[in-house]
Chain A
């Protein structure tokens, strides 16, 4: 049971990733596609954070009395994920800016409408 619970999180991460991928592929509205893209990116952030998890360990700041290295968690995954969050944020920003331009040009953000109006 313990074993199942400790691997459950990885299964959920994969489900989340595939959910995001499914949304990008099937949704018609560009905002929904963007939300799905964010869900996909966040699943990877979760994955990194889960890798950095360590039971019975403390924050990676030198504390008085704690001399054993094993008593501290590894701060690297968290630092990496801060960068990944920034990347995800800027991708979202660029995507929103593109969407505003699409809306101005074609007056819609539904994908089938966009394709139809571009044909004309």
Chain B
């Protein structure tokens, strides 16, 4: 039974999402419970697998008992397992949070939403566990296709944004497939473990330059790295709120993980080709951090502001990766976690304000503290984490990034991190000022009645995420020594 756990991580959400339309016809409550149960099982299984990878080593699963490299293999290393735990845990919270947004809709829209959401999570989980280049492409497309359909739930603007994302996303996936074709052409294998052995003598071949660049462009589009982020602001701001949270927190992080896996675990990262590409990636990431923060300041809508700040967030991850040392890598992976928790919680708060008062503009937030104290204090903690003030988690990931930059003597990166913290402070203190210091100007119309400031299904995920951000900050040393030190690739230890 234990041998099948790696497969269960993917198979359970997939089964649930395929059952969802049938169950949704019978009862909406049962549909939600079933989806929650499915993701809960995914969390459990990925946590068990994570524990096993940390104590025993990589976990393997061969499909249909075909030995790798001939059959398709799932390989889970500590990095993949931690990302899988994060993906399934956030998916579980999103399902809990989604209740208020779809409870007045018909059964078909509910069933479609949960079914597509389940498929999207299946794709992302598949990307974290797959050990086969082409299998990874299929999972990438599963998650992308369901994302396109889900964004279109956000009305006319959402549909146009979804179409735009579909075109750009397909270009990204095609570029990835192109690089897989080259890899298959020169190595004759698609299995990652096999490929990493066969590629070493071929690192000098001119095809490698193309492969690395195509991978960078393809995955760069998928993770919205500056300047390939054109699809992100529209898609994030017009999608339904729970979905924007998931996209910003998780969807753009998994391609970053795939890039880490290719560059550090399969290719020889010390080779000149990769060093050059990583250097360019670092510079683009630095520009992206500043650009995202500046654009976020210019926005008047809360959700669009968060969307631009995601461009900055992915910049930190790529910057940490491009440093090519252990501190940088720990900082990058730590930031994947922090940013996922912070951004998801911030989008949750944005959605809460929208559902309760129908506010989307920042200057409508005046005196919101009196009406929504718990959300606003959570917002305060999350804003501190985004800026990078101790003891929140955001400080520590930036601390590791600064350490990594110091080790390589990259002063430019340190300046960028400090500048972006200041810019973050500018756009978050604007909201803090409106919500905490300004008086309420006019009476607000409350759209939903509930015992607490928000229905429990919305308030609970916000509080859980905020506590997690605090916990990650306070117990950061334990988190890093228990998990993150083992995700660092051998080559840069």
Contact = CB atoms under 8 A, between A and B. Distances in A.
Contact of B152 (A40, A84, A98): A98
Contacts of A8: none
B239 to A, nearest CB: 13
29 contacts: A17-B174, A21-B171, A24-B171, A37-B170, A37-B171, A40-B171, A40-B174, A41-B170, A41-B174, A44-B177, A51-B181, A51-B185, A83-B134, A83-B138, A87-B138, A91-B141, A91-B145, A94-B149, A94-B166, A95-B167, A98-B148, A98-B149, A98-B152, A102-B156, A105-B156, A106-B160, A114-B160, A118-B156, A118-B160
Interface in B54-79: none
Interface of B: 134, 137-138, 141, 145, 148-149, 152, 155-157, 159-160, 162-163, 166-167, 170-171, 174, 177-178, 181, 184-185
B252 to A, nearest CB: 20
Contacts of B163: 30, 95, 98-99, 102
A119 to B, nearest CB: 11
Given A51-B184, A94-B145, A33 B167 contact: yes
A91 B174 CA distance: 12
Given A44-B178, A83-B138, A24 B159 contact: no
Contacts of A47: 178, 181
Interface of A: 17, 21, 24, 30, 33-34, 37, 40-41, 44, 47-48, 51, 77, 80, 83-84, 87, 90-91, 94-95, 97-99, 101-102, 105-106, 114, 118
Contact of A106 (B156, B166, B177, B185): B156
Contacts, number: 75
Contacts of A84: 137, 177
B471 to A, nearest CB: 39
Contacts of B170: 37, 40-41, 91
Contacts of B137: 84, 87
Contacts of A51: 181, 184-185
Contacts of A106: 156, 160
A84 B181 CA distance: 12
Given A40-B171, A40-B174, A102-B156, A91 B138 contact: no
B246 to A, nearest CB: 18
Contacts of A24: 167, 171
B181 A48 contact: yes
A87 B171 CA distance: 13
Given A77-B184, A90-B145, A17 B156 contact: no
Contacts of A102: 156, 159-160, 163
Contact of A17 (B152, B160, B178): B178
Contacts of A48: 181, 184
Residue of B157, B160, B162 contacting most chain A CB atoms (<10 Å): B160
Nearest to B151: A98
Nearest to A38: B170
B47 to A, nearest CB: 31
Contacts of A77: 184
Nearest to B146: A94
Pick from B148, B156, B157 the residue with the most CB of A within 10 Å. Answer: B156
A108 to B, nearest CB: 11
Contacts of A83: 134, 138
Contact of A44 (B141, B148, B159, B181): B181
Nearest to A51: B185
A99 B152 CA distance: 11
B122 to A, nearest CB: 15
